[in-house]
Amino acid sequence: MMAAEQGGQRLDSLNGRRFVFAGDRFTVNSGRGEVRGIIPSREIQGGFKLEAASPKRIDLNGENWRLQGVYVLDGKELRICLAEADEQSRPVELLSKAGSTQLLIVLQPK
């Protein structure tokens, strides 16, 4: 199950998409919806790196792109806030405020 927000507004464009993390790799399946500059409609795959900073950091990397974010894992719920691809600054909190392009994703296992 996934919920998403951008600019402080709920997004339905990622409904039906799946994020899979295995080892040091991740996959997001293809789907009709996308989030411009962050999640395309095509399938994406790459590596990911976690850092135990405060807040905890996550980097998603593909061949020609990088997404920087912050995350929290609370029980079985994973919350990730991502900046646009190749953005120089990383989000500093797990929020998607009005006027922001940051993407907040809440993932729960099925």
- Residues 62, 41: contact at Cβ < 8 Å? no
**Residue 1 confidence (pLDDT):** 62
**pLDDT number for residue 33:** 86
Q: Are 3 and 9 in contact (CB under 8 A)?
A: no
pLDDT at 109: 83
Query: What is the pTM (predicted TM-score) of this model?
Result: 0.91
The overall average pLDDT reported for the chain is 92
pLDDT digits (tens, 9 = 90+) for 12-54: 989 889 999 999 999 999 988 889 889 999 999 999 999 998 9
Residue 106: per-residue pLDDT: 94
103, exposed or middle or buried, with CB in 10 Å at 0-12, 13-18, 19+? buried
- For 67-79, the pLDDT digits (tens) are 999 999 999 999 9
Count of domains for the chain? 1
Query: Which pLDDT value is given to residue 110?
Result: 72
Containing domain of residue 67, as a range? 2-107
Q: Percentage of residues in the chain with pLDDT exceeding 70?
A: 99
pLDDT at 64 over 90: no
Cβ 15 vs Cβ 33: under 8 Å: yes
